[in-house]
Structure 1
């Protein structure tokens, strides 16, 4: 890399380039929210009023565009998650964390898809997923240690719940957009320690869970 290349990287985008980028992000937010992460990039470019080549100049991969589009949703999730993590009652914190997660999931199919999948090889998405998983385990373990949540629940069980909720959202969002809350609270009732009964199937291992999330990203 020569000095002129470095200077070009440091130089702010021209006004017209910034406007094109902003239009692409706005169009991507609408299209990913409506259609999920596999939304047409060509349609996003058309909606933004630019060529597909311009889209790829700003965002070389679909994942680059997705992450730029999801930043407000991710911040919305982080803000709610922080509130839940600071709650004193372990069960209330567990419930509040999942309610916040599922509320953001329900409002955006792109975020819904992002939650359900893993994108190996991308440091940013891997970090975000790792942090989410650690937070889920934190609120879950606290609730279990307090005797409020059944002791045999694992992270994989919560991710399975996220997958299930994603299908419920797909089926009900147009006619009953808050139906997911009933299903969540039915499951939360089943997660209470006093409801525990032996389960004939063991939980998925961490490796099985990761592979399943990667598989979802490869089959779409």
Structure 2
């Protein structure tokens, strides 16, 4: 006899099931922040203190687990872009956006990968990323049109600043958690419009190349 499970799927989780789900989400967030999105269901289960079967019942795929954690993070970065566009000084808006974005992603490797890579993440994370891209383009275009930003800087350059901040944190974050600020400031100075800027030896990534890089980037490493 066929059983209709659709009604059961809509019922709220029992209290113990809801607690297990919250433990799983918190454990995954901690692991992903420290080690990136390559952490496995087994590792999440061990960190959460639950059986791996419990993790799979709540989140059958890695994409669903990433969605549960990082959709809000990408939405937050998109909101930072909107806030940057509202600032009357477009250079200060750009600096604000880059600084706040790097502050979120520098010490959270999982969020950095969710923003910059399409290796993991389902429909909700992908939809959040698609909202982010045009906001970043507007922040860059506004600063460039106002003459604050070098004419040869484009929107595909900004994600690389986040990667720089993350690399500095991976190297020395345990010793100097805020060291990334030093190098992001150096990058921003290099991006600012100058009377006689040094010509850049190569061009930026095209939108197609940026997309290809996001789809092929596998930043997680064995610890």
Shared fold per TM-score greater than 0.5 = yes
Does the 8 Å CA contact 1:32/1:110 hold for their aligned counterparts?
yes
1:43 match? 43
Which deviations, in whole Å up to 9, do the C-alpha atoms of 1:38-57 show, x marking residues without a partner? 12321221222211111011
Deviation at 1:190, TM superposition (A): 0.7
User: Matched residue of 2:4: which SS?
Assistant: helix
Gaps of 5+ in 2: none
Which deviations, in whole Å up to 9, do the C-alpha atoms of 1:64-85 show, x marking residues without a partner? 1122233564455355444323
Does the 8 Å CA contact 1:118/1:217 hold for their aligned counterparts?
no
User: Matched residue of 2:87: which SS?
Assistant: coil
Give the structure-1-normalised TM-score: 0.89
Q: What is the root-mean-square deviation of aligned Cα atoms in Å?
A: 2.3
Number of residues of Structure 1 aligned to a counterpart in Structure 2: 219
Does the 8 Å CA contact 2:63/2:120 hold for their aligned counterparts?
no
The whole-number CA distance in structure 1 between the counterparts of 2:53 and 2:3 is 27
Describe how 1:144-155 pairs up with structure 2 within 5 A.
144-155=144-155
The whole-number CA distance in structure 1 between the counterparts of 2:73 and 2:82 is 14
User: Matched residue of 2:88: which SS?
Assistant: coil
User: Matched residue of 1:27: which SS?
Assistant: helix
Does the 8 Å CA contact 2:27/2:48 hold for their aligned counterparts?
yes
| Greater mean deviation of Cα atoms: 136-145 or 187-196 | 187-196
Give the structure-2-normalised TM-score: 0.88
Deviation at 1:199, TM superposition (A): 2.0
Does the 8 Å CA contact 1:73/1:111 hold for their aligned counterparts?
yes
Answer 1 or 2: higher relative contact order, Cα 8 Å, separation at least 6.
2
Describe how 1:1-220 pairs up with structure 2 within 5 A.
4-71=4-71, 73-74=73-74, 76-78=76-78, 80-119=80-119, 122-194=122-194, 196-217=197-218
Larger helix percent: 1
The whole-number CA distance in structure 1 between the counterparts of 2:43 and 2:215 is 26
Does the 8 Å CA contact 2:114/2:120 hold for their aligned counterparts?
no
Gaps of 5+ in 1: none
Does the 8 Å CA contact 1:84/1:97 hold for their aligned counterparts?
yes
Does the 8 Å CA contact 1:116/1:213 hold for their aligned counterparts?
yes
